[in-house]
């Protein structure tokens, strides 16, 4: 990694190759057993009755950060949702680009509530959540470990090429030929759809051609980068977010899926059910997004996963507003296809700052893709449950 003033890390050709070896080939450099994706039978989440809803107002600006008074211990103590609770939480609204809004009830089949138990709760490297008496919100934990991806060979290279920007200011991840996974709060504030949600656009970062030949590895400048935009055709948001409004329940459902009006013609990343953190190679998670303190740049980061609940993953990945909605992914061995495979296992929700008995706890939080969420999101993408039975 090299640095420039302002503590901005850029990747050149040789350093990029070294980083790929260190981060994406952990089993080659370690004597530990190769971590594998373990496929499991996925329940079925099917739409049932659909009803029209009043046209949204689209008044408030999207908030690029969400807050919750519920820390990991609070989430762990929450009662397990019943079957009927889950049907209510996984019901969803669909916003069409015409402004039409519908609400769809769902049915759940083949679901065993005891197979979706919470993981063994574990702490980060310090053994405890980071605490501080400082009242200033902090999204960079210690040294800024983010990398700005520079040069078209890197920006257009998988997995960085799956990261996209939303016109509301958030990030997203390509998970289908015309589908983008993002955070629910990027399009809905918990009470209503935000300004710009009806005419939502998705931006793909593309370098401009430079006079005198391309310099592929120089740091990107704002006047040398541009976004190609595609309009969203419809947006799906689970009722768990709308009913919860970012409280102890809503945080678990801070995800949304966008369907574009036309195919994006880029490689997308597959969905995967989030494994327990201890099963991740090096316990690492990765994600790339468009942090708003680095305008026009794609920012990549990785870090060690910390505490987790059945629905949330806590970590201290450095991030700034604008990165929320990014797809959190892991890379493990696919034994069936005999190859390494990256899969999206969560959605980066944002920074959490919780006051508890006079002390503050700070986390960055991602919503985990559980078997039920996988079934729902996959159905939104595929349009049938047959292609969504293994994840």
- For the annotated catalytic residues, the residue numbers are 185, 248, 324
Beta-bridged to residue 204, according to DSSP, are: 228
**Helix axes 83-90 and 371-382, enclosed angle (nearest 10):** 40
**How far is Cα 204 from Cα 207, in angstroms, rounded to an integer?**
10
Locate the DSSP E strands across 43-122: 44-53, 92-96, 101-109
Beta strand residue intervals within 295-338, DSSP E: 298-308, 312-315, 327-334
Question: Which helix (DSSP H) or strand (DSSP E) does residue 14 occupy?
Answer: helix 13-24
Residues forming beta bridges with residue 278, ordered by sequence position: none
By the 8 A CB rule, do 344 and 159 touch? no
Cβ atoms of 148 and 160 closer than 8 Å: no
What is the distance between the alpha carbons of residues 273 and 42, in angstroms, rounded to a whole number? 9
Q: Give yes or no for a contact between 96 and 231, defined as CB atoms under 8 angstroms apart.
A: no
| Secondary structure of residue 17 in the 3-state scheme | helix
d(CA 92, CA 71): 26
SS3 49: strand
Q: Is 296 exposed, middle or buried (0-12, 13-18, 19+ CB in 10 A)?
A: middle
């Amino acid at each position: 990694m090299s640095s420039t003033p302002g503590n901005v890390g850029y990747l050149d050709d040789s350093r990029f190759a070294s980083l790929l070896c260190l981060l994406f080939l952990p089993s080659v450099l370690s004597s530990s057993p190769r971590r594998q994706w373990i496929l499991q039978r996925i329940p079925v989440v099917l739409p049932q009755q659909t009803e029209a809803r009043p046209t949204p107002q689209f008044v408030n600006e999207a908030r690029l950060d969400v807050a919750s008074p519920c820390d990991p211990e609070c989430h762990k103590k929450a009662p397990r949702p019943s079957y009927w609770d889950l049907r209510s939480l996984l019901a969803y609204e669909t916003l069409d680009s015409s402004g039409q809004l519908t609400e769809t009830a769902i049915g759940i089949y083949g679901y065993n509530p005891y197979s979706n138990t919470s993981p063994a709760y574990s702490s980060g490297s310090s053994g405890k959540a980071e605490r501080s008496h400082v009242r200033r919100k902090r999204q960079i934990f210690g040294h800024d470990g983010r990398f700005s991806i520079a040069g078209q060979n890197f920006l257009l290279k998988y997995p960085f090429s799956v990261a996209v920007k939303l016109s509301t200011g958030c990030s997203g991840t390509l998970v289908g030929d015309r589908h983008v996974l993002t955070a629910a709060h990027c399009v809905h504030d918990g009470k209503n759809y935000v300004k710009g949600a009806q005419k939502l656009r998705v931006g793909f970062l593309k370098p401009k051609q430079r006079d005198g030949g391309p310099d592929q590895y120089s740091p990107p400048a704002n006047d040398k980068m541009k976004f190609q935009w595609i309009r969203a055709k419809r947006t799906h948001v689970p009722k768990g977010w709308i009913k919860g409004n970012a409280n102890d329940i809503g945080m678990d459902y801070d995800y949304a899926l966008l369907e574009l009006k036309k195919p994006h013609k880029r490689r997308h990343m597959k969905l995967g059910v989030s494994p327990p953190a201890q099963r991740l190679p090096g316990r690492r998670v990765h994600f790339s997004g468009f942090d708003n303190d680095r305008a026009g740049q794609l920012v990549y980061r990785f870090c060690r996963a910390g505490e987790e609940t059945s629905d949330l993953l806590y970590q201290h990945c450095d991030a700034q507003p604008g990165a929320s909605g990014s797809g959190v992914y892991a890379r493990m061995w696919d034994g069936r296809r005999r190859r390494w495979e990256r899969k999206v296992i969560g959605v980066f929700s944002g920074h959490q700052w919780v006051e508890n008995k006079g002390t503050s706890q700070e986390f960055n939080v991602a919503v985990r893709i559980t078997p039920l969420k996988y079934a729902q999101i996959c159905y939104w993408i595929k349009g049938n449950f047959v292609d969504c039975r293994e994840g």
